[in-house]
């Protein structure tokens, strides 16, 4: 008994050190009462004087009711912290244990026994009074309240079920042992052993349920609160990729209850995400981004998957987070639309300047040539006037061709199709209109690469201007546009099989078209190089940088599209 008392006293000290946890103080109080009870039993066995034995017998009996009451207080506080164990209820529950302790030490007729006597073998034997049996019945009633409280908790909180089972086992077995000890009488050695076992068992198992399962640990409660309140959907998969846990946010996202979602496979829960990945993935990966809903309720979700590893280092499953990226995607689309609108405005300004430089010059030439022709006709110089008119017709035809080609280029809009598809559409029209074979290679190299709209517009216009020069000046029968992608840049190579020219004469022969192409390349932070050999055609290479986050943005755009 004394060794068991020391154990319970240590448990009381530890409970006091964790007193901030709801239920720790009732556990501490019950452990102290149990320690005093056990200490009294030990002193009964160790005393030799009859009067001392009766004193210590009354002493240990004084802690029966307080200990049982503390058990119920712990049950109430553990089940509903701060609700059922109010100050008023605690005062009412403490009244009877206090009166019982006073009655136990009454010198005459006792509240618990009719008589107490020391047997020849040194053990104390008592005959219970009616009030003593009523007190035992009251203790049994408190035990039934404990069972009811734990049963309520078992039904309401699945997370508490294993601790509740431990609590019920401890309370039930200890109650059986104590009843057996009472029936055999508290004076036999065997009875003392049963009482010691009952006290140690109940408070030991209570401590295991309370501290071992850490149900009332603030960190554990905080984790549960975070899981319930988090906006991201959370699904826990086992190693067979079947859902074993779903948080409330995932229920809302998937529009089904957790009980219906648990047990389903990855393919059943996320049919548009493809097969489950081999390893860890980061949020926003293109292959693992899904859209759910329809119409105005359509939403985008990036998937963030992490492996779950147990203490042995073995994989226990996977944790999937559904991150709502709808607002981000909408903001990106809006920003892209604004960028494209700005690019269109800047392109219109450039077209206005080019029209001023090209069409303005043509109209000025037509005006001058027309006036000269009129003067020649007035003088009767018909032959020279006819030459002037022929030149006017030739210039008008060239202007008409250039204007139609400009319209052809302007009709090829980038919108959301990207540079490669815009170039393919333009080359198809170019080939059908002029009969020059046009080929696009390397379009697949731009997959997953998002250039700024202004950069795409400038590269498209450079290609169009280069093909215009090939048609007008080189006599080419075939042109080839090649797209190449490096770590930090995109390269476009425009090659023709025309007559070519000497590059050392380039500065002298550089016209408006080539100058405009160089300006466009510089505006996007790129470079333009012209290579040509007489009789072997020409090649124009233009390079444009790729923004650092362009690839990731394009992944997201393709996945969400």
Residues 6+ positions from 18 with CB-CB distance below 8 Å: 24, 211
Which residue is listed with tokens 């004087």?
49
Q: Rounded distance, CA 342 to CA 361, Å? A: 28
Q: Hey, what are 296's tokens?
A: 């105005």
Q: Rounded distance, CA 420 to CA 446, Å? A: 7
Q: Hey, what are 74's tokens?
A: 């712990």
Q: Hey, what are 371's tokens?
A: 């006036």
Q: pTM of the entire structure?
A: 0.43
Angle at 496 between CA 492 and CA 499, to 5 degrees: 145
Contact 263, 243 (CB under 8 A): yes
Q: Hey, what are 200's tokens?
A: 């140690």
Calculate the CA 299 to chain-centre distance. Answer: 15
| pLDDT for residue 215 | 55
Which residue is listed with tokens 């846990």?
245
CA distances (Å), 178 to each of 125, 264, 460, in order?
A: 16, 49, 92
β-pairing, 478-485 vs 437-441, is parallel
Q: Rounded distance, CA 308 to CA 299, Å? A: 28
Task: Provide the strand spans (E) within 334-464.
Answer: 437-441
SS3 of residue 305 by DSSP = strand
Residue 441 pairs with which residues in a beta bridge? 482
SS3 of residue 419 by DSSP = helix
Q: Rounded distance, CA 246 to CA 232, Å? A: 11
Contact 27, 210 (CB under 8 A): yes
Nearest-10 Cα torsion for 444, 447, 453, 458:
-20
CA distances (Å), 277 to each of 6, 203, 234, 320, in order?
A: 56, 49, 17, 11
Contact 30, 203 (CB under 8 A): yes
| pLDDT for residue 286 | 41
The secondary structure of 8-52 as a DSSP string is: HHHHHHHHHHTTTSTTHHHHHHHHHHHHHHHHHHHHHHH--SHHH
Residues 6+ positions from 206 with CB-CB distance below 8 Å: 27, 30, 71, 74, 167, 170
| pLDDT for residue 218 | 61
Q: Among 441, 453, 418, which residue's Cα sits nearest to residue 558?
A: 418
Alpha helices by DSSP H, listed for 80-217, are: 87-104, 130-156, 161-184, 189-207
Contact 247, 233 (CB under 8 A): yes
Per residue of the chain (561 residues), what is the pLDDT tens digit? 888 888 889 988 988 887 877 778 888 998 899 899 889 888 888 888 888 888 888 888 888 889 889 888 888 888 887 778 888 888 888 888 888 877 777 655 566 776 777 777 667 777 777 877 888 888 888 888 888 988 888 888 777 788 888 888 888 888 888 777 777 654 444 467 778 888 888 888 888 877 777 655 566 667 777 888 888 999 999 988 999 999 999 999 888 998 899 999 998 988 887 787 765 554 444 446 788 877 777 888 888 888 888 767 788 888 999 988 888 878 877 877 777 677 677 767 766 766 666 677 778 888 888 888 888 888 888 888 888 888 888 878 777 776 766 665 555 555 556 788 888 888 988 898 889 999 999 888 876 666 777 788 888 889 988 988 888 888 899 999 999 988 888 999 999 999 888 776 666 556 667 888 888 888 888 999 999 888 889 999 999 988 755 444 444 443 333
- b/e string for 28-52 if b means 16 or more Cβ within 10 A? bbbbbbbbbbbbbbbbbeebeeeee
Q: Hey, what are 259's tokens?
A: 């009980």
Contact 236, 243 (CB under 8 A): yes
């Amino acid at each position: 008994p004394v060794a068991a008392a020391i154990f319970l006293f240590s448990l009381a000290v530890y409970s006091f050190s964790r007193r901030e946890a709801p239920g720790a103080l009732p556990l501490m109080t019950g452990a102290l009462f149990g320690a005093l009870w056990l200490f009294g039993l030990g002193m009964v066995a160790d005393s030799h004087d009859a009067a001392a034995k009766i004193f210590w017998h009354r002493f240990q009996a004084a802690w029966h009711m307080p200990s049982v009451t503390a058990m119920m207080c712990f049950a109430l506080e553990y089940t509903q912290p701060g609700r059922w164990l109010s100050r008023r209820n605690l005062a009412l529950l403490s009244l009877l244990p206090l009166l019982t302790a006073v009655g136990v030490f009454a010198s005459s007729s006792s509240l618990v026994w009719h008589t107490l006597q020391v047997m020849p073998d040194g053990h104390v034997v008592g005959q219970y009074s009616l009030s003593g049996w009523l007190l035992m019945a009251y203790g049994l009633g408190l035990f039934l309240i404990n069972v009811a409280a734990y049963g309520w908790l078992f039904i309401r909180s699945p997370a508490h079920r294993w601790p509740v089972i431990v609590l019920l086992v401890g309370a039930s077995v200890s109650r059986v042992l104590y009843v057996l000890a009472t029936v055999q009488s508290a004076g036999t050695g065997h009875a003392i052993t049963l009482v010691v076992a009952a006290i140690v068992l109940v408070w030991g198992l209570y401590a295991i349920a309370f501290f071992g399962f850490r149900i009332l640990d603030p960190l554990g409660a905080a984790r549960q609160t975070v899981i319930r309140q988090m906006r991201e959907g959370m699904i826990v998969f086992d190693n067979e990729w079947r859902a074993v846990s779903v948080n409330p946010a995932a229920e809302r996202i998937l529009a089904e209850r957790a009980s219906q979602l648990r047990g389903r496979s990855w393919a059943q829960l996320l049919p548009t995400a493809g097969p489950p990945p081999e390893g860890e993935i980061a949020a926003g990966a293109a292959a693992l981004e899904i859209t759910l809903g329809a119409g105005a309720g359509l939403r985008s979700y990036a998937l963030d998957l992490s492996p779950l590893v147990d203490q042995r280092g073995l994989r226990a499953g996977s944790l999937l987070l559904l991150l709502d990226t709808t607002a981000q995607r909408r903001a990106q689309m809006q920003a892209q639309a604004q960028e494209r609108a700005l690019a269109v405005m800047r392109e219109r300004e450039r077209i206005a300047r080019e029209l001023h430089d090209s069409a303005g010059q043509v109209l000025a030439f037509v005006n001058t040539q027309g006036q000269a022709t009129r003067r020649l006709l007035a003088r009767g110089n018909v032959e020279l006037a006819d030459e002037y008119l022929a030149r006017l017709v030739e210039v008008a035809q060239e202007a008409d061709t250039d204007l139609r080609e400009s319209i052809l280029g302007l009709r090829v809009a980038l919108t959301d199709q990207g540079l490669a598809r815009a170039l393919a559409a333009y080359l198809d029209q170019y080939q059908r209109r002029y009969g020059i074979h046009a080929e696009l290679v390397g379009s697949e190299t731009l997959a997953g690469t998002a250039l700024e709209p202004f950069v795409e517009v400038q590269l498209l216009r450079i290609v169009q201007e280069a093909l215009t020069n090939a048609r007008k000046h080189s006599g080419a029968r075939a042109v080839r546009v090649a797209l190449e992608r490096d770590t930090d840049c995109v390269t476009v190579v425009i090659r023709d099989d025309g007559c070519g020219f000497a590059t050392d004469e380039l500065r002298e022969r550089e016209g408006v078209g080539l100058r405009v192409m160089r300006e466009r390349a510089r505006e996007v932070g790129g470079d333009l190089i012209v290579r040509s050999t007489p009789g072997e055609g020409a090649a124009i290479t233009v390079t444009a940088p790729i923004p650092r986050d362009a690839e990731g943005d394009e992944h997201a755009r393709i996945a969400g599209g």
